[in-house]
A = this chain, B = another copy of it.
Amino acid sequence: MNLLLKEIRFNPLLWMLVFVPAVLLGEELAPSSHTLLFILAVLAIVPLAGLLSHATEAVAEKTGDAIGGLLNATLGNLTELIIAITALHAGEYMLVKASIAGAIVTNSLFMLGASFLLGGLRYHVQEYNRAGGRLYSALLLMATIALLAPGAVADVDLAQGELMAQKLSTGLSILLIAAYGLGLLFSLRTHKELFDSKDKGEAHAQTWPLGLAIITLIVVTVMVAWVSEIFVSSVQKAGESLGISPAFVGFIVVALVGAAAEMTVAFSAARKNRLDMSVSIALGSASQIALFVAPVLVLLSYLVGPKPMDLQFWPGAVTMTMISAVTACFITNSGRSAWFIGALLVFIYAVFAMTLYVVPPGSHAPL
């Protein structure tokens, strides 16, 4: 418990935990102040996501390489998953899809770019492991293609094609999860030396005991679910009064909030000239969204949602996600970085955000 408090004391991000009781109290006292609740929920999820990934890592460290790697890989995007499941339950399909596509774009453009930018402001030119960067970006590219291809390829007429799209999405989800399993086999078993990063452990000189870690994991998961519910139920009304569309909230806000914890790790690694770690966090997380989180959501939609969800994204989302993956591939190909490369990645992200803010996808887009 002392350790947990110490962690909180030294990690400014966790001071934001104060917003957790605030949002719960807000829900009690002013259940109709949607905008306030929305903002409080966003602020509360950030530190919870941070705790969640700390706890996951702690459990992973204690349980040995193989199971630990599996845990890290599976629960790494737990926050995004919980928010998306809550949105699924509420039937907010546009929010779910936007948060899937947005998480890929945010991780591969903003997280990667800001890491390059922050690292580059301190170091003139930074080098990182080309082989690792390439492997991750190849994984990301192919995961993205597999996720988006149906939407780009299939010319489904919505009126008569909903059943088709559903059938296709279910089949593809099973394929994607199988590929994800093979990827784990590859990165944790047969070729784990390619993914090894010497730096990884150093960050935590002192690790939590297993019991504390597991309890934290469970408690925080429940709290994230709770706050997510407030978030999802307030998002539409809050969006209306703030003048932002569900697509923008999902694509930009949920993605930034869900990834905030990983971002602080990636950015601090970049500032310490450990770009290998930043690249693997950013691109690893993006490919996990495509290969694991998205298909799991499709399969869960049969149990959780009012109706099954498919993998048809609106055309703009397909374009943005594809561009992000291809750009990440080009950029990481060289194994070198300077501040301007990072600035340009962040800048493309800003272009996308601005486009989505000014021109939200029309109501005729497939939900």
Contacts and interface: CB of A to CB of B under 8 A. Distances in A.
A247 to B, nearest CB: 11
Contacts of A194: 338
Given A168-B358, A330-B138, A354-B175, A323 B145 contact: yes
A186 B179 CA distance: 40
Given A344-B139, A362-B155, A172 B351 contact: yes
A319 B149 contact: yes
Contact of A351 (B150, B320, B336, B355): B150
A259 to B, nearest CB: 21
Chain A binding site: helix, strand, loop or mixed by DSSP? helix
A326 interface: yes
A158 interface: no
A359 B155 contact: yes
Given A134-B334, A338-B191, A362-B157, A355 B142 contact: no
Interface in A138-169: 138-139, 141-142, 145-146, 149-150, 152-157, 161, 164-165, 167-168
Nearest to A333: B333
A345 B143 CA distance: 10
A175 B164 CA distance: 40
A143 B338 CA distance: 17
Contact of A347 (B153, B175, B190): B175
Q: 10 tightest CB-CB pairs across the interface, nearest first?
A: A186-B340, A154-B359, A153-B316, A168-B358, A142-B344, A146-B351, A152-B319, A150-B355, A179-B347, A153-B355
Interface of A: 124-125, 131, 134, 138-139, 141-142, 145-146, 149-150, 152-157, 161, 164-165, 167-168, 171-172, 175, 179, 182-183, 186, 190-191, 194, 314-316, 319-320, 323, 326-327, 329-331, 333-334, 336, 338-341, 343-345, 347-348, 350-352, 354-356, 358-359, 361-362, 365
Given A149-B355, A152-B316, 6 more contacts: A131-B334, A154-B355, A155-B315, A168-B354, A179-B343, A179-B347
